[in-house]
Structure 1
Amino acid sequence: MTDNRQAHASAPDPPADLDRLGVDVSRPHPARRYDYLLGGKDNFAADRASADELARTFPHIRTAAQENRRFLIRAVRWLARAGIRQFLDIGTGYPTAPNVHEAARAITPDSRVLYVDNDPVVVAHARALLTSPQPDAIGYLQADLRDPAAILHSPQTRATLDFHQPIGLLLVAVLHFLDDTDHPYEAVNTLIEGLPPGSFLALSHVTFDPLPDDTTRTLTTLARPAAGHGTFRARTRTEIAQFVTGVDLIEPGLVSVVDWHPDQDPKPQAPAEHAAFDAVVARLP
């Protein structure tokens, strides 16, 4: 991992054309903040300030981001070994090696991936960096999880993914950015119902369950709109479980990200109370 202090010192100034794209770099953005926490350079001052303030309350926040990323790679590799050859990655964020298509193609070289994000800069950046010898095997779509039907029926989605074959749906570290008023359970149900039989879902979600009460209280305050960190809704394990009712959970079920197949690479390196993420992989009807 790149040292975050180096990333902070060498991160670029905002490009001049961001205003044209409707991007406000004076406010933190989840994808850029996550990039900073992972040691990346695709972030700006507001993103770094937001992450640093959260880290003062929860010092393990960078560890949590890294453990979530390790879960993603383990889950993608598991799905590839289970026969999944195509992936729908919603809320993909900035490219971070190994990327989903790299992890999948290490197992099955013919894997196809559609990357989806609601940030135009993320999509443009991914399109520039993520290349493939098969141009139609990796797609990029600017769309919002709040409108799942638009994702499912987009011409780009249909051009990249074959809806006659199972798909691995990845909702990794994205649902906690939907408040209850965004109808997140309905969004997930729409996606599940729209996927081919035999598809899978891999999901991770921030939870404050393993944290001390005082840390939870402070983080809950920081998640309020007035705090300026953007929409954020941590959920309990019971609430997260509601996303996967009626589907077949893969062992070990809904657990901390560090407890999901921890014997596989990349192996977890932290306890559950430092990760603060729950995760699950499920087989869909």
Structure 2
Amino acid sequence: MSEQLQLRRGTAAQIAAFTGAQGEVVVDTTNNRLVLQDGATAGGYAAAKLSEVVANTRTSIADASYAATATDRTIAYVALTAARAVALPAASAYPTGTRLLVVDESGACSSSATLTLNANGSDRINGAASFVIASPYGCAAIESNGANAWTIVDQFAPGSLTTIAQGPFGASFQCGVLETLVTLSGASTTAPTPIPANCIVTAVGARTVTAVTGAPSFQVGVSGNAGLFGSGLNVAAGSINFGLIGPNPYYSATPLIVTATSGAFTGGAVRLSIHYLSMGPSTW
């Protein structure tokens, strides 16, 4: 005949007031878990259930906003066509010190199709109510203090800003490079990636990736100054131009335009590189 082992048991409230013998195990019937006693501590030490064990779970999201849960560990966007938001759980509900990663796996994240992490209620992310990922294949890893705040412990954004100096309250001096491929057609073509708002540009470089046809040469600039970053540029594949200028401030996002010096483009591609400085004010 089989034997049956039955342990002492009680509700969570009863267990919290109970001090068992050292090495004794009792059953919490409220939470359906085992609790180890040490002979001295009221309530003992509860064993974690499988659902509470930290696991490298991955949640795949296709082009939609998402409400993160306390069991999420990686939130991966596999498709993105517009700005989407990730609503974070309360910091107090997320396992302390456990990393939550939000990543763009689609490569479609951009300044217009962003991923915004929104803190719950009065919680903060590095002192702010939200954090934005705005670069292809960008990501951010955050951890909770178990109370009311998240800290960014890692982030990656190809072409993102590099901090040169930072103040104790988040003010920063940063530099960055953005690259954008422009497939040419017509009399002029606007680059997919603009000059960022609130920055100082020092250069916009150009490389002819695919030989340009339909025009003898081209120029790179902005509206009202078509050759600001170079004119009469070579159409042969492999040609480059550094596009250096005196430091020039831009207070709003400004499109870059590649213009044929005469005629109209019938083909070709140019990769532009935006070299810029950013001065961020204090974040709290």
Q: In which range does the TM-score fall when normalised by the shorter chain?
A: under 0.3
Structure with the higher helix share, 1 or 2 = 1
Higher relative contact order (CA 8 A, sep 6+): 1
Normalising by structure 1, we get a TM-score of 0.20
Structure with the higher strand share, 1 or 2 = 2
